[in-house]
Protein backbone atom coordinates (compact mmCIF):
# COMPACT_ATOMS: atom_id res chain seq x y z
CA UNK A 1 0.00 0.00 0.00
CA UNK A 2 1.29 3.37 -0.77
CA UNK A 3 0.78 4.38 2.79
CA UNK A 4 3.31 2.00 4.18
CA UNK A 5 6.02 2.47 1.61
CA UNK A 6 6.93 5.58 -0.19
CA UNK A 7 8.19 4.85 -3.68
CA UNK A 8 9.35 8.42 -4.28
CA UNK A 9 12.01 8.37 -1.63
CA UNK A 10 15.29 6.46 -1.89
CA UNK A 11 14.92 2.85 -0.92
CA UNK A 12 15.95 1.78 2.50
CA UNK A 13 18.48 -0.87 3.19
CA UNK A 14 16.38 -3.96 3.53
CA UNK A 15 14.81 -4.18 0.05
CA UNK A 16 18.12 -3.34 -1.54
CA UNK A 17 19.78 -6.13 0.36
CA UNK A 18 17.07 -8.54 -0.63
CA UNK A 19 17.41 -7.67 -4.25
CA UNK A 20 21.16 -7.97 -4.17
CA UNK A 21 21.17 -11.45 -2.63
CA UNK A 22 17.92 -12.72 -4.10
CA UNK A 23 19.33 -15.91 -5.53
CA UNK A 24 20.71 -17.43 -2.34
CA UNK A 25 17.70 -16.19 -0.40
CA UNK A 26 15.29 -17.84 -2.84
CA UNK A 27 17.22 -21.08 -2.72
CA UNK A 28 17.31 -21.05 1.06
CA UNK A 29 13.64 -20.40 1.34
CA UNK A 30 12.84 -23.12 -1.19
CA UNK A 31 14.90 -25.65 0.73
CA UNK A 32 13.31 -24.43 3.95
CA UNK A 33 9.92 -24.99 2.39
CA UNK A 34 10.73 -28.54 1.49
CA UNK A 35 12.11 -29.17 4.95
CA UNK A 36 8.96 -27.66 6.45
CA UNK A 37 6.81 -29.93 4.29
CA UNK A 38 8.78 -32.95 5.41
CA UNK A 39 8.46 -31.79 8.97
CA UNK A 40 4.67 -31.65 8.60
CA UNK A 41 4.61 -35.37 8.92
CA UNK A 42 5.79 -35.04 12.50
CA UNK A 43 3.09 -34.83 15.11
CA UNK A 44 4.29 -31.47 16.38
CA UNK A 45 3.36 -29.84 13.11
CA UNK A 46 0.00 -31.40 12.41
CA UNK A 47 -3.25 -31.76 14.30
CA UNK A 48 -5.29 -34.66 15.58
CA UNK A 49 -8.53 -35.34 13.79
CA UNK A 50 -11.80 -34.36 15.38
CA UNK A 51 -15.47 -34.38 14.44
CA UNK A 52 -16.84 -31.06 13.24
CA UNK A 53 -20.31 -32.34 12.54
CA UNK A 54 -21.70 -33.11 15.96
CA UNK A 55 -24.81 -34.71 14.51
CA UNK A 56 -22.79 -37.73 13.41
CA UNK A 57 -22.63 -39.12 16.96
CA UNK A 58 -20.31 -41.93 15.94
CA UNK A 59 -20.60 -45.14 17.86
CA UNK A 60 -23.12 -43.72 20.29
CA UNK A 61 -25.41 -46.71 19.98
CA UNK A 62 -24.42 -50.32 20.53
CA UNK A 63 -24.43 -52.18 17.26
CA UNK A 64 -26.95 -54.95 16.77
CA UNK A 65 -25.76 -56.70 13.67
CA UNK A 66 -25.63 -60.47 14.10
CA UNK A 67 -26.03 -61.52 10.49
CA UNK A 68 -22.51 -62.78 9.83
CA UNK A 69 -23.69 -66.37 9.41
CA UNK A 70 -26.25 -65.15 6.91
CA UNK A 71 -23.49 -63.29 5.09
CA UNK A 72 -21.46 -66.48 4.85
CA UNK A 73 -24.51 -68.32 3.50
CA UNK A 74 -24.93 -65.64 0.87
CA UNK A 75 -21.24 -65.96 0.04
CA UNK A 76 -21.48 -69.72 -0.50
CA UNK A 77 -24.59 -69.31 -2.61
CA UNK A 78 -22.96 -66.57 -4.65
CA UNK A 79 -19.81 -68.62 -5.22
CA UNK A 80 -21.94 -71.39 -6.68
CA UNK A 81 -23.71 -68.94 -8.97
CA UNK A 82 -20.44 -67.35 -10.03
CA UNK A 83 -19.24 -70.64 -11.42
CA UNK A 84 -22.00 -70.44 -14.00
CA UNK A 85 -21.16 -66.85 -14.98
CA UNK A 86 -17.44 -66.68 -15.69
CA UNK A 87 -17.41 -63.33 -17.45
CA UNK A 88 -20.57 -61.60 -16.40
CA UNK A 89 -22.61 -60.80 -13.34
CA UNK A 90 -25.13 -63.32 -11.95
CA UNK A 91 -28.05 -60.95 -12.54
CA UNK A 92 -30.97 -63.32 -11.85
CA UNK A 93 -29.51 -64.43 -8.55
CA UNK A 94 -28.83 -60.87 -7.45
CA UNK A 95 -32.20 -59.59 -8.54
CA UNK A 96 -33.88 -62.52 -6.81
CA UNK A 97 -32.01 -62.06 -3.56
CA UNK A 98 -32.66 -58.34 -3.40
CA UNK A 99 -36.34 -58.80 -4.20
CA UNK A 100 -36.76 -61.47 -1.54
CA UNK A 101 -35.46 -59.02 1.04
CA UNK A 102 -38.39 -56.75 0.23
CA UNK A 103 -36.35 -54.11 -1.60
CA UNK A 104 -37.45 -52.42 -4.80
CA UNK A 105 -35.06 -53.97 -7.27
CA UNK A 106 -34.13 -52.48 -10.63
CA UNK A 107 -31.59 -53.17 -13.32
CA UNK A 108 -29.84 -50.48 -15.27
CA UNK A 109 -28.47 -51.02 -18.78
CA UNK A 110 -25.72 -48.89 -20.22
CA UNK A 111 -23.58 -49.04 -23.34
CA UNK A 112 -20.17 -47.65 -24.11
CA UNK A 113 -19.33 -46.52 -27.63
CA UNK A 114 -15.64 -47.05 -27.38
CA UNK A 115 -14.08 -43.89 -28.82
CA UNK A 116 -10.71 -45.32 -29.68
CA UNK A 117 -11.64 -48.56 -31.29
CA UNK A 118 -13.38 -48.71 -34.65
CA UNK A 119 -16.96 -48.55 -33.49
CA UNK A 120 -16.73 -51.18 -30.78
CA UNK A 121 -19.72 -51.17 -28.45
CA UNK A 122 -19.63 -52.60 -24.94
CA UNK A 123 -22.71 -53.02 -22.81
CA UNK A 124 -23.17 -53.56 -19.13
CA UNK A 125 -25.85 -53.89 -16.52
CA UNK A 126 -25.97 -52.63 -12.95
CA UNK A 127 -28.31 -54.06 -10.35
CA UNK A 128 -29.59 -51.98 -7.46
CA UNK A 129 -32.18 -52.36 -4.76
CA UNK A 130 -33.75 -49.51 -2.80
CA UNK A 131 -34.67 -50.04 0.82
CA UNK A 132 -37.36 -47.47 1.46
CA UNK A 133 -37.17 -45.85 4.85
CA UNK A 134 -40.17 -47.05 6.77
CA UNK A 135 -41.26 -43.61 7.92
CA UNK A 136 -39.59 -41.43 5.36
CA UNK A 137 -40.75 -39.83 2.17
CA UNK A 138 -37.76 -40.70 -0.04
CA UNK A 139 -36.20 -37.25 -0.15
CA UNK A 140 -32.66 -38.36 0.73
CA UNK A 141 -30.65 -41.52 0.22
CA UNK A 142 -27.43 -43.27 1.23
CA UNK A 143 -25.69 -45.51 -1.28
CA UNK A 144 -23.80 -48.70 -0.38
CA UNK A 145 -22.11 -49.93 -3.51
CA UNK A 146 -19.69 -52.60 -4.58
CA UNK A 147 -18.04 -53.26 -7.92
CA UNK A 148 -18.70 -56.78 -9.08
CA UNK A 149 -15.70 -58.56 -10.57
CA UNK A 150 -16.19 -61.81 -12.47
CA UNK A 151 -13.58 -64.56 -12.10
CA UNK A 152 -12.09 -63.59 -15.44
CA UNK A 153 -11.23 -60.13 -14.15
CA UNK A 154 -7.62 -59.18 -13.47
CA UNK A 155 -8.50 -57.62 -10.14
CA UNK A 156 -9.47 -59.49 -7.00
CA UNK A 157 -13.00 -60.78 -6.74
CA UNK A 158 -15.49 -58.90 -4.57
CA UNK A 159 -18.00 -61.67 -3.89
CA UNK A 160 -17.64 -61.26 -0.09
CA UNK A 161 -18.64 -57.59 -0.36
CA UNK A 162 -21.79 -58.54 -2.27
CA UNK A 163 -22.56 -61.11 0.42
CA UNK A 164 -21.94 -58.59 3.19
CA UNK A 165 -24.12 -56.06 1.41
CA UNK A 166 -27.00 -58.53 1.19
CA UNK A 167 -26.65 -59.43 4.86
CA UNK A 168 -26.67 -55.75 5.76
CA UNK A 169 -29.76 -55.20 3.57
CA UNK A 170 -31.53 -58.00 5.41
CA UNK A 171 -30.59 -56.49 8.77
CA UNK A 172 -31.47 -52.93 7.78
CA UNK A 173 -34.87 -53.89 6.39
CA UNK A 174 -36.00 -54.82 9.90
CA UNK A 175 -35.07 -51.53 11.51
CA UNK A 176 -37.47 -48.66 12.02
CA UNK A 177 -35.05 -45.81 12.56
CA UNK A 178 -34.22 -45.01 8.93
CA UNK A 179 -34.91 -41.47 7.80
CA UNK A 180 -33.18 -41.87 4.45
CA UNK A 181 -33.58 -44.54 1.80
CA UNK A 182 -30.71 -46.97 1.34
CA UNK A 183 -29.64 -47.90 -2.17
CA UNK A 184 -27.64 -51.13 -2.49
CA UNK A 185 -25.83 -50.95 -5.78
CA UNK A 186 -23.79 -53.63 -7.55
CA UNK A 187 -21.95 -52.22 -10.55
CA UNK A 188 -20.24 -53.88 -13.42
CA UNK A 189 -17.09 -52.99 -15.34
CA UNK A 190 -15.41 -51.12 -12.47
CA UNK A 191 -15.65 -47.37 -12.75
CA UNK A 192 -17.63 -47.47 -15.96
CA UNK A 193 -20.67 -48.97 -14.30
CA UNK A 194 -20.54 -46.56 -11.39
CA UNK A 195 -20.12 -43.58 -13.70
CA UNK A 196 -22.99 -44.74 -15.89
CA UNK A 197 -25.25 -45.17 -12.85
CA UNK A 198 -24.40 -41.74 -11.51
CA UNK A 199 -24.90 -40.13 -14.87
CA UNK A 200 -28.26 -41.83 -15.26
CA UNK A 201 -29.28 -40.81 -11.75
CA UNK A 202 -28.41 -37.16 -12.32
CA UNK A 203 -29.06 -37.13 -16.10
CA UNK A 204 -25.78 -35.45 -16.87
CA UNK A 205 -23.46 -36.15 -19.71
CA UNK A 206 -19.71 -35.82 -19.74
CA UNK A 207 -18.53 -36.36 -23.26
CA UNK A 208 -21.38 -36.63 -25.70
CA UNK A 209 -22.15 -39.96 -27.21
CA UNK A 210 -19.42 -41.96 -25.51
CA UNK A 211 -21.32 -43.41 -22.58
CA UNK A 212 -24.99 -43.98 -23.22
CA UNK A 213 -26.22 -44.11 -19.68
CA UNK A 214 -29.67 -45.54 -20.24
CA UNK A 215 -32.52 -44.81 -17.87
CA UNK A 216 -33.19 -45.54 -14.21
CA UNK A 217 -36.63 -46.69 -13.19
CA UNK A 218 -36.33 -46.10 -9.49
CA UNK A 219 -34.85 -43.21 -7.59
CA UNK A 220 -34.66 -42.24 -3.98
CA UNK A 221 -34.16 -38.49 -3.85
CA UNK A 222 -30.90 -36.63 -3.28
CA UNK A 223 -27.91 -38.85 -2.39
CA UNK A 224 -26.15 -37.65 0.75
CA UNK A 225 -23.24 -40.08 1.08
CA UNK A 226 -21.88 -43.28 -0.44
CA UNK A 227 -19.80 -46.16 0.91
CA UNK A 228 -18.04 -48.39 -1.59
CA UNK A 229 -17.03 -51.86 -0.45
CA UNK A 230 -14.14 -53.88 -1.85
CA UNK A 231 -13.86 -56.83 0.51
CA UNK A 232 -11.89 -59.66 -1.02
CA UNK A 233 -12.38 -62.34 1.59
CA UNK A 234 -14.58 -63.31 4.51
CA UNK A 235 -11.60 -62.95 6.81
CA UNK A 236 -9.66 -59.82 6.00
CA UNK A 237 -6.47 -58.68 7.63
CA UNK A 238 -7.35 -55.01 7.89
CA UNK A 239 -9.62 -52.38 6.48
CA UNK A 240 -7.98 -49.82 4.25
CA UNK A 241 -9.86 -46.57 3.78
CA UNK A 242 -9.35 -45.02 0.37
CA UNK A 243 -10.27 -41.40 -0.10
CA UNK A 244 -8.74 -39.96 -3.25
CA UNK A 245 -11.21 -39.23 -5.99
CA UNK A 246 -11.26 -38.10 -9.56
CA UNK A 247 -8.85 -35.22 -10.23
CA UNK A 248 -7.70 -35.30 -6.66
CA UNK A 249 -11.04 -34.38 -5.15
CA UNK A 250 -11.45 -35.62 -1.58
CA UNK A 251 -14.51 -36.41 0.52
CA UNK A 252 -15.28 -34.44 3.63
CA UNK A 253 -12.84 -35.28 6.39
CA UNK A 254 -15.71 -36.02 8.75
CA UNK A 255 -16.64 -39.10 6.76
CA UNK A 256 -13.09 -40.42 6.84
CA UNK A 257 -12.85 -39.80 10.57
CA UNK A 258 -16.18 -41.54 11.04
CA UNK A 259 -14.90 -44.73 9.45
CA UNK A 260 -11.69 -44.68 11.45
CA UNK A 261 -13.49 -44.01 14.71
CA UNK A 262 -15.98 -46.80 14.15
CA UNK A 263 -13.23 -49.23 13.19
CA UNK A 264 -11.52 -48.31 16.41
CA UNK A 265 -14.71 -48.93 18.35
CA UNK A 266 -15.18 -52.39 16.87
CA UNK A 267 -11.45 -53.20 17.30
CA UNK A 268 -10.92 -53.53 13.59
CA UNK A 269 -7.38 -52.91 12.41
CA UNK A 270 -7.71 -49.94 10.09
CA UNK A 271 -5.12 -48.38 7.85
CA UNK A 272 -4.64 -45.54 5.45
CA UNK A 273 -2.60 -46.26 2.35
CA UNK A 274 -2.14 -49.76 3.80
CA UNK A 275 -0.12 -48.28 6.66
CA UNK A 276 -1.44 -48.43 10.16
CA UNK A 277 -0.65 -45.91 12.86
CA UNK A 278 2.89 -46.12 14.13
CA UNK A 279 3.03 -46.93 17.85
CA UNK A 280 5.62 -44.19 18.50
CA UNK A 281 4.79 -41.33 16.18
CA UNK A 282 7.07 -38.91 18.04
CA UNK A 283 10.18 -40.91 17.28
CA UNK A 284 12.28 -40.74 14.15
CA UNK A 285 10.87 -44.00 12.78
CA UNK A 286 7.38 -42.79 13.50
CA UNK A 287 8.06 -39.61 11.59
CA UNK A 288 9.51 -41.56 8.68
CA UNK A 289 6.47 -43.86 8.63
CA UNK A 290 4.09 -40.92 8.58
CA UNK A 291 6.18 -39.23 5.91
CA UNK A 292 5.85 -42.27 3.68
CA UNK A 293 2.08 -42.28 4.19
CA UNK A 294 1.95 -38.60 3.38
CA UNK A 295 3.90 -39.03 0.17
CA UNK A 296 1.76 -41.96 -0.85
CA UNK A 297 -1.30 -39.78 -0.53
CA UNK A 298 0.33 -36.87 -2.35
CA UNK A 299 1.36 -39.00 -5.30
CA UNK A 300 -1.97 -40.78 -5.63
CA UNK A 301 -3.86 -37.53 -5.39
CA UNK A 302 -1.58 -35.82 -7.88
CA UNK A 303 -2.18 -38.51 -10.45
CA UNK A 304 -5.86 -37.56 -10.51
CA UNK A 305 -6.93 -41.17 -10.87
CA UNK A 306 -9.59 -42.20 -8.37
CA UNK A 307 -8.47 -45.05 -6.14
CA UNK A 308 -11.93 -46.60 -6.20
CA UNK A 309 -15.47 -46.18 -7.44
CA UNK A 310 -16.09 -43.69 -4.67
CA UNK A 311 -14.05 -41.11 -6.56
CA UNK A 312 -16.79 -40.71 -9.12
CA UNK A 313 -19.34 -39.60 -6.53
CA UNK A 314 -17.43 -36.49 -5.45
CA UNK A 315 -18.28 -34.48 -8.50
CA UNK A 316 -21.98 -34.66 -7.62
CA UNK A 317 -21.39 -33.29 -4.15
CA UNK A 318 -21.72 -36.75 -2.57
CA UNK A 319 -19.22 -37.63 0.13
CA UNK A 320 -17.86 -41.13 -0.58
CA UNK A 321 -15.07 -43.44 0.53
CA UNK A 322 -13.99 -46.99 -0.31
CA UNK A 323 -13.37 -49.67 2.29
CA UNK A 324 -10.94 -52.27 1.03
CA UNK A 325 -10.23 -55.49 2.81
CA UNK A 326 -7.38 -57.76 1.73
CA UNK A 327 -7.38 -61.45 2.52
CA UNK A 328 -5.58 -62.29 5.72
CA UNK A 329 -4.22 -65.46 4.11
CA UNK A 330 -4.56 -67.56 7.16
CA UNK A 331 -2.10 -65.64 9.24
CA UNK A 332 -2.98 -66.32 12.84
CA UNK A 333 -2.59 -62.68 13.63
CA UNK A 334 -5.72 -60.67 14.18
CA UNK A 335 -8.20 -60.88 11.35
CA UNK A 336 -11.40 -59.01 10.83
CA UNK A 337 -14.54 -61.11 10.63
CA UNK A 338 -17.76 -60.40 8.79
CA UNK A 339 -19.35 -59.70 12.15
CA UNK A 340 -17.00 -56.81 12.88
CA UNK A 341 -17.30 -55.50 9.34
CA UNK A 342 -21.04 -55.59 9.63
CA UNK A 343 -20.93 -53.67 12.88
CA UNK A 344 -18.70 -51.00 11.33
CA UNK A 345 -20.99 -50.64 8.35
CA UNK A 346 -24.04 -50.53 10.58
CA UNK A 347 -22.46 -47.78 12.65
CA UNK A 348 -21.52 -45.79 9.57
CA UNK A 349 -25.01 -46.02 8.11
CA UNK A 350 -26.62 -45.08 11.39
CA UNK A 351 -24.38 -42.03 11.76
CA UNK A 352 -25.11 -40.97 8.21
CA UNK A 353 -28.78 -41.44 8.98
CA UNK A 354 -28.48 -38.97 11.84
CA UNK A 355 -27.33 -36.18 9.61
CA UNK A 356 -29.75 -33.41 8.86
CA UNK A 357 -27.43 -31.42 6.63
CA UNK A 358 -25.01 -32.43 3.93
CA UNK A 359 -21.34 -32.65 4.87
CA UNK A 360 -20.14 -29.08 5.02
CA UNK A 361 -18.46 -28.58 8.37
CA UNK A 362 -15.08 -30.26 8.08
CA UNK A 363 -12.28 -29.91 5.58
CA UNK A 364 -12.47 -30.74 1.92
CA UNK A 365 -8.75 -30.27 1.28
CA UNK A 366 -6.36 -32.08 3.56
CA UNK A 367 -3.42 -34.42 3.71
CA UNK A 368 -3.37 -37.39 6.02
CA UNK A 369 -0.03 -38.50 7.46
CA UNK A 370 -1.85 -41.18 9.45
CA UNK A 371 -5.36 -42.27 10.24
CA UNK A 372 -5.77 -39.88 13.15
CA UNK A 373 -3.72 -36.86 12.11
CA UNK A 374 -4.45 -34.38 9.40
CA UNK A 375 -2.84 -31.41 7.68
CA UNK A 376 -5.40 -28.92 6.46
CA UNK A 377 -5.17 -26.48 3.63
Partner 1 sequence: MLLTDKMWLTLGVLVTIFALVSADVEESNTFTEELLIKPFPSGHVQSHFEFTTTWRNPEISHSIENYKDFEFSHYDLFPRALGEIIEAYHVRELHLSLTQGLWRHQIWGYPVVDAPPGAQLWVWFNPTVDNLDQTWKDLVNALSGLVCASLNFIDSTNTVSPELSYRPQGIAEEWYAGNSSLMRYAALPRENVCTENLTPWKKLLPCDTRSGLAVLLHPAPLYTANYHALSIHLRPSCVDKSCTSPQLELVQALSLVQNPTVSMNGHQDWSLYHLFSTKLISVCPLASMSVIYVDITNNNNKFSLYPEPYKVRKSGSGSSFRKHAVYDINDTPPNEEFDLEAHYKSRHVYGFIPSPVLHVSRFITGYGQEGGSITVKLTNTGSEPLSVVYLEVLPWYLRLFLHTSHDENQPMYVSKLVTALDRERGWLYEAVVEVQGKSTVELSLEFTRALLKWLEYPPDANHGFYIPAATISTILPSPKNVAVNNLGGSTLGDKLILEEGEAFIRIHTETLLVSLPTPDFSMPYNVICLACTVVALAFGPIHNITTKKLVLKKVEGNASPIGRLTSKLKNIFKRGGKKEAEEVPKQDPVIVEENPLFEDREELEDIEEENEDVRIHGKTGNEVS
Q: How far is the CB of 211 from partner 1 (least distance, A)?
A: 16
Among 6, 64, 66, 76, binds partner 1 (CB under 8 A): 6
Tell which positions 80-139 bind partner 1, by CB under 8 A.
99-102, 104, 132, 134-139
- Which of 216/298 has CB closer to partner 1? 216
# binding residues, partner 1 (CB under 8 A): 39
Task: Note whether 248 binds partner 1 by CB under 8 A.
Answer: no
Task: Note whether 254 binds partner 1 by CB under 8 A.
Answer: no
Question: For the stretch 223-262, what's the b/e string if a residue is b when 16 or more beta carbons lie within 10 angstroms of its beta carbon?
Answer: bbbbbbbbbbbbbbbbbbbbbbbbebbbbbbbbbbbbbbb
Percent of the chain as helix, strand, coil, to the nearest 5: 40, 20, 40
Tell which positions 336-375 bind partner 1, by CB under 8 A.
356-358, 360
Q: Which residues contact 300 (CB under 8 A, 6 or more apart)?
A: 244, 273, 307
- Which of 1/154 has CB closer to partner 1? 1
Tell which positions 160-219 bind partner 1, by CB under 8 A.
173-174, 176, 202-204, 219
Burial of 3 (0-12, 13-18, 19+ CB in 10 A): exposed
- Which of 96/304 has CB closer to partner 1? 96
Question: For the stretch 162-195, what's the b/e string if a residue is b when 16 or more beta carbons lie within 10 angstroms of its beta carbon?
Answer: bbbbbbbbbbbbeeeebbbbbbbbbbbbbbbbbb
- The CA dihedral of 255, 259, 264, 266, to the nearest 10 degrees, is 130
Task: Note whether 64 binds partner 1 by CB under 8 A.
Answer: no
Among 1, 116, 154, 377, binds partner 1 (CB under 8 A): 1
Task: Note whether 7 binds partner 1 by CB under 8 A.
Answer: no
Tell which positions 289-318 bind partner 1, by CB under 8 A.
315-317
Where are any strands of DSSP class E within 308-364? 319-327
Q: How far is the CB of 4 from partner 1 (least distance, A)?
A: 7
- Which of 136/150 has CB closer to partner 1? 136
Residue 127: name the closest of 81, 171, 70, 72 by CA. Answer: 81
Chain contacts with partner 1 (rule: CB under 8 A): 1, 3-4, 6, 9-14, 99-102, 104, 132, 134-140, 173-174, 176, 202-204, 219, 221-222, 315-317, 356-358, 360
Amino acid sequence: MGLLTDPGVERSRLPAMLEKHHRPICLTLYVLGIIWFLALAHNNFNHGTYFSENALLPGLVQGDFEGDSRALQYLDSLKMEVEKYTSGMPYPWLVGQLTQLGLETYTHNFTLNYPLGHGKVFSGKNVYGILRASRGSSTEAIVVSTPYRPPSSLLQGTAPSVALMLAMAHFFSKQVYWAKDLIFLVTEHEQLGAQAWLQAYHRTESGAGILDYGDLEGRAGAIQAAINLEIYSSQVSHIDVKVEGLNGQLPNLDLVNLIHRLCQRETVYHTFKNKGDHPQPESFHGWLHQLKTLFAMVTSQASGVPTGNHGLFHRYGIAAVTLEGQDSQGRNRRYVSMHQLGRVLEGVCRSLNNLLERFHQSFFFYLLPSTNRYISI
